Amino acid sequence: MTFLQAMLLAVLQGVSELFPISSLGHTVLLPALLGWKIDRGDPTFLAFVVALHFGTALALVAFYRQDWIRIVRGLFASVVRGRIGGDPDARLGWLLVIGTLPLALAGVFLEKPVRQFFGSPALVAGFLILNACVMFAGERLRRVERGPGSKPARPLALLPYASGAQIGFSQAFALLPGISRSGASIVAGLLFDLTHEDAARFSFLLATPAIAAASILEFPRLLVPEAHAVLVEALTGGLLAAVTAYASVAFLTRYFRSNDLRPFGWYCLIFGTVCLTLALMKVIV
């Protein structure tokens, strides 16, 4: 992996981790399209990926720092008093805890076998098309439910815990490369009557513990002797991923105030179809 390839992967990670277009799918398809030979099991590459995740997690924590301070305070206060009560920060905190558990369990038990079986560019491109269909279907159902005389949107503060768990469960589908974690959770949020803005906010808040925990638990990979060979790439890439992730989340939180998922659906449909065609023609393998 050259320095330029490393920086392109860093930008790709920072952008695609939060945009509902599947970062995992893009890190399989783009190197295949560009003909890059990357050994995904190589310790230097794994160390580099950990640095990118670390940068993304830092960006999310920095962007939502005020929210996280209130959420963590609320969580501790609720444990001390033994009840959540009417504290909206504690309630949001427990929604995030409940929503994170399904992904944590699925990630631990299913990540390796799933990636082993579904890592080919053709399958990833197929899942990217499926990701587009999920977003289109979610938006369609949303518009049907939001028709005249429908019930008003539910504020995030009033989301039931069971719905939070189901939104969290939807993230587990993103273990399939090509299915977007944020896309799945935003669609699930919309189906539980959240606005696009609240569904995106909940999705990004849910992403923070998942990405942060993954990067902390994988941190020892950065300390292996082989990782010293990519120290400059890892540090620069991590910083670049942090900057692009921060810019992405800032853009998306503003975007979802008045827009929907359909443009991302069209992008996934077109890019997925092109990649699937090329994979079936054996142009990319």
Partner 1 sequence: MKLLAVVIAAACFLAAAMYWTGAWQIGTSHPGPHHLHAVVFAVIGVLSLVWFRFQSARS
What's the closest the beta carbon of residue 112 comes to partner 1, in angstroms? 5
7 is a site residue for partner 1 (CB under 8 A)? no
For partner 1, the closer CB: 1 or 75: 75
CA 241/CA 13 separation, integer angstroms: 6
What's the closest the beta carbon of residue 83 comes to partner 1, in angstroms? 6
What's the closest the beta carbon of residue 110 comes to partner 1, in angstroms? 8
For partner 1, the closer CB: 110 or 133: 110
Which span sits near partner 1 by CB under 8 A: 74-82, 127-135, 170-178, 244-252? Answer: 74-82
CA 216/CA 236 separation, integer angstroms: 18
217 is a site residue for partner 1 (CB under 8 A)? yes
CA 268/CA 130 separation, integer angstroms: 9
For partner 1, the closer CB: 12 or 90: 90
228 is a site residue for partner 1 (CB under 8 A)? no
Among 62, 55, 59, 19, smallest CA distance to 252 is for: 19
Among 177, 209, 223, smallest CA distance to 21 is for: 177
CA 102/CA 261 separation, integer angstroms: 24
What's the closest the beta carbon of residue 93 comes to partner 1, in angstroms? 11
C-beta of residue 265 within 8 angstroms of C-beta of residue 136: yes
Q: CA separation (Å) from 191 to 62, 166, 185, 263?
A: 29, 11, 10, 19
C-beta of residue 165 within 8 angstroms of C-beta of residue 98: yes
Restricting to residues 94-153, which ones interact with partner 1 according to CB under 8 A? 97, 101, 104-105, 108-109, 112-113
C-beta of residue 72 within 8 angstroms of C-beta of residue 137: no
81 is a site residue for partner 1 (CB under 8 A)? yes
What's the closest the beta carbon of residue 264 comes to partner 1, in angstroms? 31
What's the closest the beta carbon of residue 187 comes to partner 1, in angstroms? 26
CA 24/CA 21 separation, integer angstroms: 9
Mask for 251-280, x = binds partner 1 (CB under 8 A): ------------------------------
Angle at 17 between CA 13 and CA 23, to 5 degrees: 70
Among 83, 228, 254, 257, binds partner 1 (CB under 8 A): 83
Among 35, 41, 82, 152, binds partner 1 (CB under 8 A): 82
Chain positions contacting partner 1, by CB under 8 A: 79, 81-84, 97, 101, 104-105, 108-109, 112-113, 217
